[in-house]
Amino acid sequence: MYTVQFGQFVLNLEIVLYLAAGLAGAAAIRMRLRTQPEQRGGAASAAVNAVILWIVIWKGSQLLFSPSEVISNPLTLLYFSGGAKGTWLAGAASIAYLLYKLYKQGIERRLRLELAIIAALSWTFVYYLLHIVLIDTGLIYHMLNAGLAAGLLGYMLFRKKPDSWQSLIAAALWFSLGKAAAAFADDARSAVLLSFSIGQLAWLAVSLALLIGQSLLDKPATGRNKEG
């Protein structure tokens, strides 16, 4: 955990990074929906709420994973988090919340997935960029993650044609594979299986799921081509 002290006040720098990254995600969603003003405000608001939910679950997951410590010292909720497991739990919950809110606004499925990917890429880019600027450790790891997110985000926001389901899944696949590869530059990485960390294995599992999804989407198109 990184902190900055102003007199007697201690600022948790991680939370500042997460909030800034979340606001960047909301801004990117507004940019993507710049030609759809009737949906832009609600979608951006849902993205901000998803970030707040992420932080609440990330911090509160200590109660799930280390209940005895929290019960004996409730102040640990302020100064610590649920670690990697809490990060994954918070991420899954916030993405599910964002997709649900976009669904309630009547946004069609493909665009919901696109907006969720754009929010995740923006969040990742700003989070690691601020690490480069504010924290002088792990620069290579942070630069790789920021560069990966920036490249994919630029494609998503400034492409000339709307994305198909296949291309959206491909973007998510490149992101998950890139995250797994960039983790080799993380000095804090702890290998658990074949030189891969738990986080890398999780990203590889996501990649496998995306590959399966992409192959299922490709099958009908292949069948139609053969019939034609």
Terminal-to-terminal C-alpha distance of the chain = 59
150 in the same domain as 122? yes
Rounded to an integer, what distance in angstroms lies between the CA atom of residue 156 and that of residue 60? 33
Encoding tokens for residue 211? Answer: 């590959």
195 in the same domain as 127? no
128 in the same domain as 53? yes
196 in the same domain as 110? no
190 in the same domain as 139? no
Instruction: Please write the tens of the pLDDT for every residue from 120-158.
Output: 899 889 989 988 888 777 889 999 999 999 999 988 888
Q: Which domain holds residue 223?
A: 164-228
66 in the same domain as 47? yes
Instruction: Please write the tens of the pLDDT for every residue from 19-46.
Output: 888 888 888 888 888 888 788 888 888 8
64 in the same domain as 147? yes
Average model confidence (pLDDT) across the chain? 81
Question: How many domains does the chain contain in total?
Answer: 2
- pTM, two decimals, is 0.77
217 in the same domain as 110? no
154 in the same domain as 42? yes
197 in the same domain as 125? no
218 in the same domain as 152? no
Q: Of 11, 105, 121, 14, nearest to 59 (Cα)?
A: 14
193's CB contacts (< 8 A; 6+ apart) are 201
